[in-house]
Amino acid sequence: MLWLTKPYLKLKKSVCRIIMSGKSKKKKQISPFSVLKEIERSCIAKDVGLPIQEEIRDQWSGISFKIDQQQFVAGVGDVLEILQMPELSKVPRSCSWMLGIANIRGNLLPVMDLKSFLINETTVLNRRNRVLVVNTKGVMTGLLVDESMGIKKFFIDNHIAIVSDVPDQLSGYVNGGYKDEHDNIWFKFNMQSLSEKPLFFRAAI
């Protein structure tokens, strides 16, 4: 109700103060116009203005990770889960980058060393390692990476369609990139490009 709101109560106090001031001066009559002018003056004095309007910029979110000091992001929809390195059962006579099979909540998950698969260098195991669970053409696979920093957001207008300095072995997996708030470039990794490599499926199944 209007008479219970703070602005109305303040306005009422101002009007009463003006009227009482007029009564104390018996010879001076207060006109309605002067009351309205005083109310206007009081409102202007207390006006703090509108809040500053901040520019709203669209953002893109991705899963960040590192391979051999290179910074990558993959689409949030491409990575189903991020795991710590699980216990593995070795697969006899498999490729060197095929690390083994993990049991994740009753589901068998093949885990491969992504760095070894891409650039033929073995990932050094440590507590920062993470396994990215991806689904490529219906095949669930765990990809061991050096590190994952979780979800990272970028402004859409910081997207780079063509990036330079991409290692030759990785160029077929990179689709542009994004620049972060420190002007660092993050390569956008196309997880689905793994499905184009027949060798990937032979080792993952």
Token pair of 186 as six digits: 């993050």
* Angle subtended at Cα 61 by Cα 59 and Cα 62, rounded to the nearest 5 degrees: 150
- Note the pLDDT tens digit of each residue in 113-168: 999 999 999 999 999 999 999 998 888 999 999 999 999 999 999 999 999 888 88
Strands 98-104 and 174-179: unpaired
Q: So what's the pLDDT on residue 165?
A: 86
- Note the pLDDT tens digit of each residue in 174-193: 999 999 999 999 999 999 99
Q: Where are the domains of the chain?
A: 2-46, 59-204
Top pLDDT among 205 and 2 is at: 205
User: Which residues lie below 8 Å from residue 124, measured CB to CB, with a gap of 6+?
Assistant: 146
**Is CATH 2.40.50.180 the classification given to domain 59-204?**
yes
